[in-house]
Amino acid sequence: MSKKYDLPKAYEFNEVEARWYAYWQEHKTFAATMEEGKPSFSIVIPPPNVTGVLHIGHALNNTLQDILVRYHRMKGDNTLWVPGTDHAGIATQNVVERQLATEGKTRHDLGRDKFIERVWQWREEKGGTIINQLKRIGSSCDWDRERFTMDEGLSKAVREVFVRLYNEGLIYKGDYIVNWCPRCHTALADDEVEHDPTDGKLYHIRYPFADGSGHVVVATTRPETMLGDTGVAVHPEDERYQHLKDVGISLPLTDRTIPVVFDRHVQREFGTGALKVTPAHDRDDYEIGLRHNLEILKVMDDHGVMNEAAGRYAGLDRFECRRKIVEDLKEQGFLEKIEDYQHAVGKCYRCSTVVEPITSKQWFVSVRPLADKAVEAVREGKIRIFPNTWYNTFYSWMDNIRDWCISRQIWWGHRIPAWTCQDCGEVIVASEDPDTCPRCGSTRLEQETDVLDTWFSSALWPFSTLGWPENTRELQMFYPTSVLITSFDILFFWVARMMMMGIHFMGEVPFRDVYLHALVRDKHGKKMSKSTGNVIDPLVMIEKYGTDAFRFTLTAFAAQGREIRMDEDRIEGYRHFINKLWNAARFAQMHIKDCDPSITRVVDDPQSLPLQHRWILSRLDKTIGDVRRDLDGYNFNEIASAIYQFTWHEFCDWYVEWIKPELYGEDATYQEQARGVLLTVLENILKLLHPIAPFVTEEIWSVLPGERSTIMLEPFPEVRPEWEDADAEQEMGLLMDVISGIRTIRSEAELHPTAKIEATAICPDPEKRRLIETFSPSIEAMTRAEKLHVTPEAVIPDDAGHALVQDVELFVPLKGLIDVEAELDKLARERTRLEKELKRVEGKLGNEKFLANAPEAVVEKEREKQAELQARLEKNQANRTRLEKLL
């Protein structure tokens, strides 16, 4: 530990944070312990993309994990937090391809093997950025156990899983509709497609009946896909179209006749009740096509260019084709109307290219048997989900789950371990690269060129990172992991898949609890984006306010819900909280730095202590109980609230002020009691706060009296029933109410802090009266009153300020203390100014043009200003009424 020194006036967080993180790493304090007989607690980090940089979501996610890890480490559990990164197939390949583009090259110029070497080189040079940034926010991962989804051990696990699932018939290759990025030239998982509201057009097209008896109108946002229509679907009970069973539809702009099929998927109340069916270019249409044996006609290639099946439109880019088709439909009388239409357009999450649903031969996992076991585990309570509002969403999604497309047409990733014999066509799937075909003995084997979806390796994360398929000691001790903390938006794409894989391969759930945190928005509830300029950069906030203040803000905002509204002003506010603790610790250090730490023994017999000490110990005991309960229940915002309330208001504002006379006094017994309780309470505050604010707590801890190891390895506070004292809390509550009441009178009368007052407490209850009388010197000191009179009854003067607390009436004669006429004149001037400003704001809010054209944030700001001005006018009137009574 560092040498003892006096805490400086200001908390220089940058220096402190760098010094302590280096200390923790040097002394391996984050390393997992594996002692027999101890409870185990383990977390696997949701692996960030190796291309990533720290954003506000990472900061929230990892702060919450770190809180739990530090808590369980202090509890003495065998604690493991496994760090690592994801190879992020598409994202990483794009980064390196852009790098090559600056050299005038493509990946094809290098060839597959050389390109993969180049990606590994990039990973070694640049891929550790986010890991270093996670360290910057204080993450206490066991960094010696860092994993990467492409490292040797995890790659072995991926192959093993693929081969086993294939041999069990749960992996197959076949045609299916997938999300296709024409730029990246690969299939995408559903979660890799971002759906943004887009202003587009809805085209209403007349489809003539083949017998010439009329037509039906269909609507589409993608008229170019009509070239791939192989049917029109209507509801089987829709009487309007029963006569078309044997007639069919003449497809406009083509010489084809397509059938009418009857399918319950169609909503007959929507539009005309007729739906064009393009099985090769729409997922729902694909399912209809399969049910009715419709032709699957692909009219677009992998580059988004119309192919030969598109007839005279072949060779056109899909969007150019759309323009040309609309012109032709209009010219030939098939276009009924075009409407403006806002709809969600799927775009590639990496390059923002509009994604095309398209049929393709891909590898799939048949997930239904795996999903059923995951659902059963959740229903039986083997996995708990927090908050519980997500249960129904989970069940609904799992009930409607589709087979998982796991192949990607890129080079960076786990290459699918499947080979095809060029002589006999045999498909070989194996953990080790085969040399010959087991069927014909040929050596002409060609490996599958596709790689696996990144989520495939991530789905194995809870057990592959612990050494599977080997039966390691880590697996035995730390699997199942204790809790998974992640954002709710990947509940299905990652969390559910980990459940399926863990149960299938380990015979046990991958984690006991799942905590789904909210998404972080700006203070107005808007999504953060660079284009709107509302991004809160964690590293900027840390540089500005310190890691502890930033972490405390994230924790305080982490209520169980779907949205966290982050505001930089609140980060600054919690910076004040850290400073408040620092100043209280500096004050305490003045009085305890030379003490023997054994002075804390005074708290072992709390009933021998004066009221104020019994009260603070009782409040501390309640806070410890609340914090432990909320840590175990993942109520992170409640943890922050409890610590904040106790530290700032009860410890700093009340207790420290109350015991100053004893600390500065000459009574050795009282002084030792005050020092002992002060040191005890401060130690416990630091321990309670450490999981949230590790740096400032470690720094203060290190200068407290006695030999001390790192606070990280100190035992977490436990409830001490002997400290619970309801009577002390009730009695102290009355005294604090009296003090607050007199302070309120002073404040409302706007008396100068040095103004000499006399206060009176009218208290009919003899027990309460004796209590107030006993502590009247303390009350006088803390309200700056020359005298406190305590009486069972009294007449309250007309010129007195008045307050009622519990059943005690308080008054302070104000005559001679304030110039009433001058104060009234000042209030009148203030009122004139406030009314003028309110009239201006109300004029704005009454202007329809302003409300229609001004940004929502600007309008909201004016409404907030209006409410504030109205409140200040009400306060002005109340003060005026009070002063007029004194005339």
- Pick out the residues of the known binding site for ATP: 530
- List strands edge to edge, sheet with 404-405: 186-188, 171-181, 356-365, 404-405
Contacting residues for 24 by C-beta, under 8 A, at least 6 apart: 30, 140, 710, 712
Question: In terms of DSSP bridges, do strands 274-277 and 231-234 run parallel, antiparallel, or are they unpaired?
Answer: antiparallel
Other CB atoms within 10 Å distance of the CB of residue 492: 16
Which among 460, 347, 452, 352 has a CA at the least distance from the CA of 405? 452
- Distances from the Cα of 541 to the Cα of 66, 128, 566, angstroms: 19, 21, 12
φ and ψ at 727, to 5 degrees?
-65, -40
- The residue written with tokens 């006991």 in the block is 512
Longest Cα–Cα distance in the chain? 113
* 226-257 exposure pattern, b = at least 16 Cβ within 10 A, e = fewer: bbbbbbbbbbeeeeebeebeebbbbbbbeebe
Helix, coil or strand: residue 240: helix
Helix, coil or strand: residue 788: strand
Which segments of 725-765 does DSSP mark as H helices, in order?
Answer: 726-748
Helix, coil or strand: residue 696: helix
Instruction: Name the token pair of 282.
Output: 């729409």
Would you say 810 and 802 are in contact if contact means Cβ atoms under 8 Å apart? Answer: yes
Contacting residues for 568 by C-beta, under 8 A, at least 6 apart: 536, 541
Distance CA 129, CA 149 (A): 16
- The residue written with tokens 């966290």 in the block is 564
Instruction: Name the token pair of 71.
Output: 């808590």
Q: What is the DSSP letter of 471?
A: -
Distance CA 671, CA 15 (A): 35
Contacting residues for 35 by C-beta, under 8 A, at least 6 apart: 78
Instruction: Name the token pair of 608.
Output: 């021998």
Which among 481, 498, 484, 409 has a CA at the least distance from the CA of 161? 498
Helix, coil or strand: residue 710: coil
φ and ψ at 514, to 5 degrees?
-125, 120
HSE-CB of 862 using CA atoms within 13 angstroms: 18
Which among 691, 545, 558 has a CA at the least distance from the CA of 140? 691
Q: Which residues are annotated as a binding site?
A: 530
473 Cα distance to chain centroid: 32
Other CB atoms within 10 Å distance of the CB of residue 724: 16
CB-based burial label for 160 (10 Å; 0-12, 13-18, 19+): middle
- Distances from the Cα of 49 to the Cα of 454, 458, 743, angstroms: 10, 11, 55
H or E segment at 445?
Answer: strand 445-447
Which among 462, 465, 451, 450 has a CA at the least distance from the CA of 500? 462
Other CB atoms within 10 Å distance of the CB of residue 192: 24
Contacting residues for 853 by C-beta, under 8 A, at least 6 apart: none
The packing angle between helices 391-399 and 368-379, to 10°, is 160
Distance CA 389, CA 394 (A): 10
Distance CA 30, CA 24 (A): 7
Would you say 729 and 619 are in contact if contact means Cβ atoms under 8 Å apart? Answer: yes
